[in-house]
Structure formats: C-alpha cells, structure tokens
Copies of this chain bind each other. A is one copy, B any other.
Amino acid sequence: MSAHETVEITGHLMDHGILSRVLDDIREYSGDYTIDRFDVGRETDDPSHAVITVTTDDNESLERLLMRLQTRGVNQVDPGEASVSAADVDGVFPDHFYSTTNLETRVRIDGVWLDVGNPEMDCGLILERDSAGRPHRVYTLPMSDVRAGMLVITGASGIRVTIPTPDRTAGAFGFMESEVSSEKPQAVLVRQVADGMREAKAEGKKVLWVAGPGVVHTGAAPAMVALVNAGYVDVVFAGNALATHDIESSLYGTSLGVDLAMGRGVEHGHEHHIRALNTIRKEGSIKAAVDSGVLTGGIMHALVTHEKEFVLVGSVRDDGPLPDVYTDVIEGQRAMRAGIADVGFCLMVATMLHSVATGNILPASIPLVCVDINPATVTKLADRGSSQARGIVTDVGLFLEQLAVELVPEYRRS
C-alpha cells in the first residue's frame, strides 16, 4: 500500500548543500528514496540535475512529503494538473490545500502554466477564473483572508517551484561568493550592504528597513536619519518601541548611552516613555506632531518630512501605543504586504519579532541582510526558508555609523 512519486531538482545541488537537505527531509518524513539519475555538473559552474523516486507508507504521507520537498525546489517530474477546491468557510482553507513557499512558483490549470505573482510562505494559492471560466491568475493568500467560495489549489500536483540561481542572487548581492578581502572584513560587509542598496535604487526599486529600538539605544538614530535624508530608506517596518524611543529621545533628550556600555536596553522605568506616547496621541498622529512643530527631530520626523512610508505594528507588550500603530496584528500584516511592493533590498536591524514577520512575507528573490549583535536573531532568520538571507553579527550602532559614512559622503561624526 506504499505510495511513490518521481521528483526532480536542478541547480547547484551539492555545493550549497541543497541535496543533503532534501534527503534529510525525506528521512524526516519517514520516506525512502531511490536516486534514479544524477547528472552532476562537471565544471565548477555547471548545474546538476537529480531524479529521485520517493516512497512513503501511504498517499497522505506522500502528499505531505511532496509539498515539503517543494520548499526546496524539488518538483514532480510529471507535475500533472493542479487540483482545486472551493473554500467552505471564511478563514479556512479546504483540506489538503497546498501550502506555499516563498520561491518562484508556477501552477498548471487546464493545461496552462500560470505564474504566482506574489510568492509568500505558508499561504494558500487562490485561483481566479475569468468570465469565460478560463484560469486567469493564481495568487498567494494568507489563511485568515480566504473567503468562502474562493478556489484554492490542493495537493502538490501541477505545481513547479524554482530555486533562485546563485548567479542571480550574487548579481544583486553576492555575499559569500564574492572575494572577501583578507584585511578588513567588516569594512567589506558594510560596503556590500551599501552596494546592495545602491543597486536597488539604480534599478528603481525601494529599500526596506525593518528596525528595532536598538537602533535608537545604540545611538544610530543620526546615522539612520542621514540615510533617510539621502534616500536610502524608502519603507520602514517597525513596532511601537522603535518609534516611541525615537520620539522620546527627540522630545526629552533622554540619554541612553549607558545601554551600549551595558549591552542591554533599559526597558521601562523612564516615565518619559509614557509621556512621549501621550504627547503624540494628543496630536493625533506622528505626522500631525511633525506638522504642528511638536516633533522636530529623529527618525520618524525624517520619514514624515521625506514622505516615506512606515508600517508600525503593535505587540502585546506595548504601552500606549502611538496612534499610528496597527493594534490588530492581522491588519498590520496586510499593511506590510502592501508595503513590500517594489522592494529590491531589505535590511533588518536589531529586531527579532518584526524581522521574522517580514521574512514571512518577503519573496525569496529579494536580497535580505540581517544585522544584530545577538547571533540568535541572525540564526533564526537564516534557519527559515529564506535562502537569500545573510546575517551579520555586529554592533548595530557602529554598523549603521559606517554605513552612513559609506553612503552619505557629507555625513561625518561630529
């Protein structure tokens, strides 16, 4: 009664450990495999191609394994046609719904291959048909947004997933692959992030920042303001804390220099914090506070002044919060999804929560760098599906300082 299917994968399978992980997955899902064919790239730059027959105890296990393998870019040799079921209830996918990856995905419906426009992890795939009943488009949708009657792709058939070619990522942002000077790695890393941002801007793309309050605590706010002014910050995703600490610092000049020395943030205690929140709530919004002259400096002020977008999403630990904060996290996620359009480079600094949240919705094709002094944050990002994520364990304050020096010639330490 065992079930089996033949799958294939193409790419730099060995030199990036992909095939190892594929075989690990098969074992983890209690499957067995036979490698039917393995055409190895002979030269350093040639891609390899593997054809593998996987076997499991029953069809259900097989289906789950096949969906799992697609997160690695492993597709069925004979993909067949995608199956579709209508959702019965709002917010619930049909059984056996296909769970998405953040990789480029195509779906075959009625013999036609359709591209999925907005790859995102852990969503369902929704099929829209045109008035003639022909497949019109397929897009990812999070579980909470599905509505009864929507057509949802089920099973793993009829789906092809493509892992990014290293060249392409390297073109945009070739961290590990590139020549790394033996002399000043930290300067090289700063320059590579700077280059990634310059390239994104040159291609007319946006630069997304995901930032935590550590940016303010480590004294990097002036550097970030300089980068906003110079046009290297197009969209900011953050929580209540970054914005509040930044505003508190502007309103009260609270010295948080001690934090850097001690390596940890003073959490509460400063009632300045709660007063800053009340002040902005009184104004009605951060923009209103800027317009009325109440808020005259800092990161949020710079964003408002340059009409840059920011999405602040709340968390259960928030005081206040600021009037601009989404207190409903699902609405916040929707705002973030809207915010990633046209993003060509993403820098995450000093935040675990919002970095993971952003990693959840970013397509794998967008270069992504995570900077934190805590290796756990960097590892957590890198562990996730995002093959494009690069981590830098360093001091956020010094890193942004150097990034500003690199990108903004007129920025100088005073």
Q: Which residues of chain B are within 8 angstroms of A257 by Cβ–Cβ distance?
A: 180-182, 185, 188-189
Binary interface encoding of chain A residues 1-45 relative to chain B, with 1 for a CB under 8 A from any of its CBs, else 0: 000000000000011110110011001100011111010111110
**Distance between Cα atoms of A27 and B402 in the complex (Å):** 30
Q: Which residues of chain B are within 8 angstroms of A85 by Cβ–Cβ distance?
A: none
Partner of A176, one of B92, B188, B258, B398: B258
Most chain B CB within 10 A, of A36, A185, A401, is at A185
Given known A268-B121, A316-B353, A397-B394, contact A186–B24 (CB-CB < 8 A)? no
The answer to whether A187 and B413 have CB atoms under 8 Å apart is yes
The answer to whether A399 and B392 have CB atoms under 8 Å apart is no
Stoichiometry (number of copies) = 4
List 20 A-B residue pairs with CB atoms under 8 Å apart, sorted by A's residue number: A32-B44, A34-B43, A89-B282, A122-B273, A143-B274, A143-B277, A176-B258, A182-B253, A184-B219, A189-B257, A262-B393, A267-B384, A313-B316, A314-B330, A316-B332, A318-B329, A327-B330, A394-B397, A395-B398, A398-B402
Q: Count residues on chain A whose CB falls below 8 Å from chain B CBs.
A: 127
**Distance between Cα atoms of A385 and B390 in the complex (Å):** 25
* Given A15-B24, A38-B40, A188-B219: 15 more A-B contacts, CB < 8 Å: A17-B20, A28-B255, A40-B50, A143-B278, A143-B320, A183-B222, A184-B401, A186-B218, A186-B219, A261-B393, A264-B376, A268-B385, A313-B316, A317-B356, A317-B357
Q: Which residues of chain B are within 8 angstroms of A278 by Cβ–Cβ distance?
A: 92-93, 97, 143
The answer to whether B218 and A316 have CB atoms under 8 Å apart is no
Given known A144-B321, A271-B67, contact A44–B33 (CB-CB < 8 A)? yes
Check A77 for interface membership: any CB of B closer than 8 A: no
Partner of A383, one of B32, B97, B253, B266: B266
Given known A19-B14, A256-B185, contact A379–B315 (CB-CB < 8 A)? no
Most chain B CB within 10 A, of A97, A122, A144, A263, is at A263
Check A221 for interface membership: any CB of B closer than 8 A: yes
Q: Which residues of chain B are within 8 angstroms of A43 by Cβ–Cβ distance?
A: 32-34
The answer to whether A390 and B261 have CB atoms under 8 Å apart is yes
Partner of A356, one of B189, B267, B374, B397: B267
Partner of A394, one of B27, B183, B314, B395: B395
| A344-364 interface with B by 8 A CB criterion | 353-354, 356-357, 360
Q: Which residues of chain B are within 8 angstroms of A328 by Cβ–Cβ distance?
A: 327-329
Check A260 for interface membership: any CB of B closer than 8 A: yes
Check A136 for interface membership: any CB of B closer than 8 A: no
Check A86 for interface membership: any CB of B closer than 8 A: no
- Closest chain B residue, CB of each to CB of A43: B34
Check A375 for interface membership: any CB of B closer than 8 A: yes
The answer to whether B67 and A264 have CB atoms under 8 Å apart is no
Check A68 for interface membership: any CB of B closer than 8 A: yes
Partner of A320, one of B144, B380, B390: B144
**Distance between Cα atoms of A364 and B67 in the complex (Å):** 37
**Distance between Cα atoms of A294 and B319 in the complex (Å):** 38
Check A212 for interface membership: any CB of B closer than 8 A: no
The answer to whether B319 and A360 have CB atoms under 8 Å apart is yes
Q: Which residues of chain B are within 8 angstroms of A64 by Cβ–Cβ distance?
A: 271-272
Binary interface encoding of chain A residues 163-195 relative to chain B, with 1 for a CB under 8 A from any of its CBs, else 0: 000000000000110001111111111000000
Most chain B CB within 10 A, of A184, A256, A261, A269, is at A261
**Distance between Cα atoms of A378 and B375 in the complex (Å):** 14
**Distance between Cα atoms of A43 and B93 in the complex (Å):** 37
A126 to chain B, nearest CB (A): 14
Binary interface encoding of chain A residues 280-311 relative to chain B, with 1 for a CB under 8 A from any of its CBs, else 0: 01100000000000000000000000000000
